Structure 1
Amino acid sequence: MSTATKAAPRAAGRSKKKVEPLYYFFLFPALILFTLAITVPGLIGIFFSFTDSIGIGEWKFIGFTNYIAAFSDPAILSAFLFTFGFALCTVIVVNVIALMLAVGLVSRIKFKTGLRAIFVIPMVVSGIIIAYVFNFLFQNSVPAFGQALGIGFLETSLLANPDLAWVAIVIVTAWQAIPGTLLIYIAGLLAIPGDVYEAADIDGATKPQQFTRITLPLVMGYVVINVILGFKGFLNAYDIIVGLTNGGPGTSTMSIAMTIITGFNSGDYAYQMATATLFFIVSVILAILQLSLNRRNSV
C-alpha cells in the first residue's frame, strides 16, 4: 500500500469536525419548545379534524366528512380565492414600489440616510394600530377629499364598498410591508460593484438601460427572496383585515386565517381544523415549489 493511500483515511478522519456540546445546548431547548408549541398542537388539530368535536366535551370520529364539506362550502372557497388574490396583488405592489424606492435611496441624493430611516418606520408599528389609523382615514378623510375634488368612487368609504374594500387592504398591507422589502433590495443594490455602472456609462448606456440590463438581472435573487417571503406572509393576513373591515362588507374580505379563527370562536372547532389542515397542505405545496425555484435560480 502506498504512502498516499495510507494517508488518505487519516486525512479523511481529520476532516471530520467534532460537534461541540455547546451546539446541542442551544439546539435541544429550541427543538423541544418548537415540538411542544407547534408540532404537537398541529398533530392534535389534524386528529380532531376527523371528528365532530366543538373544542370541548365528547366527540366521535366522522372520517372525511369535514373535508368533503369544506370543498363544497362557498364561504371556504371564497376565503381561499380572496386570500390568494390578495397575496398575489400585494406582493406585486410591494416589490415594485420597494425596488423603485431602493434604487432612489442608493443613488447620489441628499439626506438618503435620513430618508432610509423614515421609510422603515411603518415596519416597527403594530399592524392592528396601523389598521385602525387607516380605518379612520378611509372612513372620514378620504371621503371628504373625494367630495372636495368631485371624485365619485372616493366620496364614500372604500371599506363600505364590497368591490373595492380589498384595494384598501392591499394599500395598508403594502404600506407596512414595503420597509422590510426595501431593506433587502438596498442590500442587494449596494452589493453591485460600481465599476459595472461606470463601464455602462462609458459605453453610452442610458439609466433605463442600466436598470433593465444591469440592475434588475443582478438583484433577481433578491427579488425571488422578497416574493417568496412576502407571498407566504400575506397568505396569513389577519390583523390588518380585522382592523380595517373585519371581513366585510358581508364576507367579501374574509381571509382564510379569519375564517378559521372565527369558526373556532363560534364552536366550529373540528370543521375549521379541517380547513386549517387543507390550508397547511396548500402552504406545504407552495413551499416545495418555492424551494425548487430557489435551487433553480441558485438563491
Structure 2
Amino acid sequence: MRKNRSTFYLMVIPAVILFFTFHTFPVLMGVFYSFTNWNGLSQTYHLVGFKNYVNVFKDSNVYHAYWFTFKFAILTTIIVNIISLSVAMGLNSRIKLKNTFRAVYFLPNILSILIVGFIFNYFFSNILPDMFTKIGMSSMAFNILGRQEWAWVGIVIVTVWQATAFNIILYLAGLQTIPADLYEASSLDGAGKWKEFWHITFPMIAPFFTINMVLAMKSFLQAFDQIVALTQGGPAKATMSISYLIFTDGFQGGSFAYQSANAVLYFIVIVVISIIQLKILQRREMSLQ
C-alpha cells in the first residue's frame, strides 16, 4: 500500500511542478504586475495599487474591444451550434457513407485556426474578388477584410468553418444515446419530425447542448488566432478583440502592467459568463426532463 502511494506521488508531483511553473506561476506574476507600472522591458517598476484597473474602465479602446468581442462570440456561438446540430442530425440518420462524411466534417478541427486563417485571408483578398470580377459582379469584387463594415463577416465565416467540427462530434455522441424505441413510439402516435425534435431529440441531448454552448462561448470570447491571421485588429481597429488588444498593447505597446490588469478583469468576466451560462442551461435541462 505504501509502495503504491509513493508511486502515485512520483507520477503526480512532476506534472504538478510543471503545471505550476508554466501556468500557475506566470498567472500569479501577471496578477502581481497588474498592480505595478512595469512596461515589460525595464528593470524597475513601482506599485501603483488599483490605478491600472481604474484606467481600464476609462479606456474607450477597451470598451470598443469588449463590444466587438461580445458581438462576435454571441453570434458565432449561435451559428456554430445551429449548423453543428443540423449536420449531426443528418449524419446520425441512415445515409450512405455516413462514416466517411463524419471524417470529412471533422477535418477542420485537426487544422490550426492560424493556418486556416491565412488560407482564408488569401481566399478573401485574391480568389473571391477575381471570381466576382469574372462573373460580372464588379460591385462585389473587393476584399471584405479591408472594409470596416465587412471585416467581421470574414472572421465569423472562418471561425464557424473551423469550430463546427468539434461541436458536431459532441452532438453525434449525444444523438447516439437516444433510444430508437422513442422514435418508433412517436411515429406510431403520428408525431412529425418537428415534434420529435422538440419533444424527444432536444430534451435528450440537452446536456450536450449545454456543454457545446459553454465551451463555444468561452473559446470565442478568447478570439485571437483568427484575428492575427485575417485582420490584425483592423481595419481601423474594427475587429480588435480583447485578447488581441492585450497582446498588442501589452507586449508590443509597452503597457504590460496595464494590459495585465485588463487580462485579470477579462478572466473574471469569462468565468462569470460561463457560470451564468451553466446555471441557466442546467435549469433548462431540468425543465425539459
Tell me the TM-score normalized by structure 1.
0.88
Q: Determine whether 1:287 maps to 2:258.
A: no
- Contact 1:162 1:248 (C-alpha < 8 Å) held by counterparts: yes
1:39 aligned partner: 24
Q: How does 1:1-299 map to 2 (within 5 A)?
A: 21=5, 22-55=7-40, 56-149=42-135, 154-263=140-249, 264-293=251-280, 296=283, 297=285
Q: Which structure has the greater CA radius of gyration?
A: 1
1:11 aligned partner: none
Pair 1:142–1:287, CA change in 2 (3 A): same
- Contact 2:37 2:257 (C-alpha < 8 Å) held by counterparts: yes
In the TM superposition, residue 23 of structure 1 has moved relative to its aligned partner by 4.2
Match of 2:235, SS state, is coil
Pair 1:70–1:185, CA change in 2 (3 A): same
Question: What CA distance in whole angstroms lies between the structure 2 residues aligned with 1:63 and 1:39?
Answer: 22
Tell me the TM-score normalized by structure 2.
0.91
Question: What CA distance in whole angstroms lies between the structure 2 residues aligned with 1:257 and 1:123?
Answer: 21
Structure 1 stretch displaced more, 168-177 or 152-161: 152-161
Consecutive unaligned residues in structure 2, runs of 5 or more: none
- Contact 2:89 2:175 (C-alpha < 8 Å) held by counterparts: yes
CA offset digits 1:36-55 (Å, max 9, x no partner): 22221111111111111112
Question: What CA distance in whole angstroms lies between the structure 2 residues aligned with 1:216 and 1:76?
Answer: 38
CA offset digits 1:86-114 (Å, max 9, x no partner): 11111111100000000000111111111
In the TM superposition, residue 239 of structure 1 has moved relative to its aligned partner by 0.9
Pair 1:46–1:132, CA change in 2 (3 A): same
Question: What CA distance in whole angstroms lies between the structure 1 residues aligned with 2:3 and 2:154?
Answer: 52
Matching residue's letter, 1:221:
P
What is the identity percentage for the equivalent residue pairs of Structure 1 and Structure 2? Answer: 42
Matching residue's letter, 2:189:
D
Match of 2:240, SS state, is coil
1:3 aligned partner: none
Question: What CA distance in whole angstroms lies between the structure 1 residues aligned with 2:246 and 2:192?
Answer: 51
Matching residue's letter, 1:49:
S
In the TM superposition, residue 120 of structure 1 has moved relative to its aligned partner by 0.6
Question: What CA distance in whole angstroms lies between the structure 1 residues aligned with 2:149 and 2:168?
Answer: 30
- Contact 2:210 2:282 (C-alpha < 8 Å) held by counterparts: no
Structure 1 stretch displaced more, 141-150 or 189-198: 141-150
Question: What CA distance in whole angstroms lies between the structure 2 residues aligned with 1:147 and 1:246?
Answer: 27
CA RMSD of aligned residues (A): 2.2
Question: What CA distance in whole angstroms lies between the structure 2 residues aligned with 1:285 and 1:24?
Answer: 34
CA offset digits 1:172-194 (Å, max 9, x no partner): 01111011000000010011000
Question: What CA distance in whole angstroms lies between the structure 2 residues aligned with 1:206 and 1:18?
Answer: 62
Question: What CA distance in whole angstroms lies between the structure 1 residues aligned with 2:139 and 2:228?
Answer: 23
1:13 aligned partner: none
Question: What CA distance in whole angstroms lies between the structure 2 residues aligned with 1:79 and 1:19?
Answer: 54
Question: What CA distance in whole angstroms lies between the structure 2 residues aligned with 1:229 and 1:59?
Answer: 37
In the TM superposition, residue 214 of structure 1 has moved relative to its aligned partner by 1.3
Matching residue's letter, 1:286:
I
- Contact 1:145 1:154 (C-alpha < 8 Å) held by counterparts: no
Matching residue's letter, 1:107:
S
Match of 2:254, SS state, is coil
Question: What CA distance in whole angstroms lies between the structure 2 residues aligned with 1:164 and 1:258?
Answer: 19
In the TM superposition, residue 153 of structure 1 has moved relative to its aligned partner by 6.3
Q: How many residues align?
A: 283
Pair 1:153–1:254, CA change in 2 (3 A): farther
Match of 1:120, SS state, is helix
Matching residue's letter, 1:278:
L
CA offset digits 1:26-68 (Å, max 9, x no partner): 4333322222222211111111111111123111122222112
- Contact 1:158 1:165 (C-alpha < 8 Å) held by counterparts: yes
Matching residue's letter, 2:17:
I
Matching residue's letter, 2:261:
A
